[in-house]
């Protein structure tokens, strides 16, 4: 489970694009936050695949990732691109597909190789086409649990939604604001959504809460921070700040993206309702 949102600069209180994500993971799974430093790539070993390098050095990137994997739940690069992903369920069963690139792998590849949101978007979609999605998005010491992904990609001047079902994907440019959770949000992609997914109880209360925050304009960083810490959407803890026996919020990020200068990034590990936000120093 995850919740993401973006508010482009035309809708915020200071003209910067705001990007945010809560990463929800199984209880007890640790995440690490770290810099991926620039490197000249030969072969990159992603979680399950070797990926050829590309001609330019990678970008300095701040990421949060499960300790067992290579890919990132979310992150921001020095050029001011922010990316995060969320699990979505479709009529196509991911268990039938071989190990390939996970959604987290695609997040990290997009961040390391894209200087703009559009470049990162191209990295994600071209790698889906070339290598495919597949492989468990959970600790390989446990049950194999693959899934498909939606992505939110943003910089100071544009923002994009990507929703996928195996090798199929659809892109939408965000005009002002958008929120993602663990369901299809693009109307043109809705026919892919798994009809038995209980979105009414597990997903929609969180998604509608995110949309309500984005509708109260201008959107501020304080609004977003409070939202990532919020509870009370359901009786059994399926909230934006998640605490239950199945999923807990493990890592959170808020990025303010401007056209000139380094992005302003705030992050924390653990539940945001009880944690201390740290401002990143580039």
CB of 85 closer than 8 Å to CB of 66: no
Q: What is the pLDDT of residue 42?
A: 78
Please report which confidence band the pLDDT of residue 71 belongs to, taking 50, 70 and 90 as the band edges.
Answer: very high
Q: What is the pLDDT of residue 69?
A: 94
Q: What is the pLDDT of residues 142-165, one digit of tens each?
A: 889 999 999 999 999 999 999 999
CB of 254 closer than 8 Å to CB of 221: yes
Q: How far apart are CA 228 and CA 244, in angstroms?
A: 16
Q: What is the pLDDT of residue 231?
A: 94
* CB atoms closer than 10 angstroms to residue 257: 27
∠19-162-160 over CA atoms, to 5°?
A: 45
Q: Which of 59, 260, 65, 85 is nearest to 155 (CA)?
A: 260
Q: What is the pLDDT of residue 110?
A: 98
Q: So where are the chain's domains? A: 2-279
Average pLDDT, the chain: 95
Q: What is the pLDDT of residue 234?
A: 82
DSSP state of 61: E
Residue with the larger pLDDT of the pair 74 and 43: 74
DSSP state of 31: E
Q: What is the pLDDT of residue 194?
A: 92
Pairing of strands 177-180, 168-173: unpaired
Annotation: CATH topology of 2-279: Penicillin V Acylase; Chain A (3.60.60)
CB of 241 closer than 8 Å to CB of 228: yes
The overall longest dimension of the chain from CA atoms, in Å, is 51
Please report which confidence band the pLDDT of residue 140 belongs to, taking 50, 70 and 90 as the band edges.
Answer: confident
Residue count of the chain: 282
Which of the residues are catalytic?
2
CB hemisphere CA count around 261 (13 angstroms): 9
Helix, strand, coil shares, percent, the chain, to 5: 20, 35, 45
* Res 59 pLDDT > 90: yes
Q: How far apart are CA 111 and CA 103, in angstroms?
A: 13
Give φ, ψ of 103 to 5 degrees: -60, -35
CB hemisphere CA count around 141 (13 angstroms): 4
Q: What is the pLDDT of residues 114-130, one digit of tens each?
A: 999 999 999 999 999 99
Q: How far apart are CA 275 and CA 91, in angstroms?
A: 38
* Res 182 pLDDT > 80: yes
Q: What is the mean pLDDT of residues 173-194?
A: 96
Q: What is the pLDDT of residues 226-278, one digit of tens each?
A: 999 999 888 778 899 999 989 999 999 999 999 988 999 999 999 999 989 99
The predicted model scores a pTM of 0.97
Please report which confidence band the pLDDT of residue 53 belongs to, taking 50, 70 and 90 as the band edges.
Answer: confident
């Amino acid at each position: 489970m995850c919740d993401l949102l973006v508010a482009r600069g035309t809708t915020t209180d200071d003209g910067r694009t705001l990007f945010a994500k809560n990463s929800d993971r199984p209880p007890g799974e640790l995440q690490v936050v770290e810099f991926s430093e620039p490197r000249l790539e030969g072969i990159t070993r992603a979680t399950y695949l070797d990926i050829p390098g590309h001609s330019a050095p990678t970008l300095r990137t701040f990421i949060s990732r499960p300790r067992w994997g290579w890919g990132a739940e979310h992150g921001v690069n020095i050029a001011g691109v922010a990316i995060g992903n969320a699990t979505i369920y479709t009529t196509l069963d991911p268990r039938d597909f071989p190990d390939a690139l996970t959604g987290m792998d695609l997040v990290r590849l997009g961040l390391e190789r894209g200087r703009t949101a559009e470049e990162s978007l191209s990295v994600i979609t071209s790698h889906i086409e070339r290598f495919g999605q597949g492989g468990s998005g959970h600790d390989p010491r446990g049950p194999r649990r693959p899934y498909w992904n939606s992505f939110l990609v943003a910089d100071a001047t544009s923002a994009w939604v990507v929703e996928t079902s195996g090798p199929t994907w659809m892109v939408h440019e965000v005009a002002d604001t958008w929120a993602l959770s663990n369901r299809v949000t693009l109307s043109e992609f809705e026919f892919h959504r798994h009809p038995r997914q209980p979105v009414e109880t597990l997903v929609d209360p969180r998604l509608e809460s995110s949309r309500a925050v984005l509708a109260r304009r201008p959107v501020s960083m304080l609004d977003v921070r409070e939202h990532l810490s919020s509870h009370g959407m359901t009786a059994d803890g399926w909230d934006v700040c998640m605490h239950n026996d199945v999923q807990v919020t493990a890592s959170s990020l808020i990025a303010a993206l401007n056209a000139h200068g380094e992005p302003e990034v705030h992050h924390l590990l653990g539940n945001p309702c009880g944690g201390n936000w740290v401002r990143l120093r580039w």
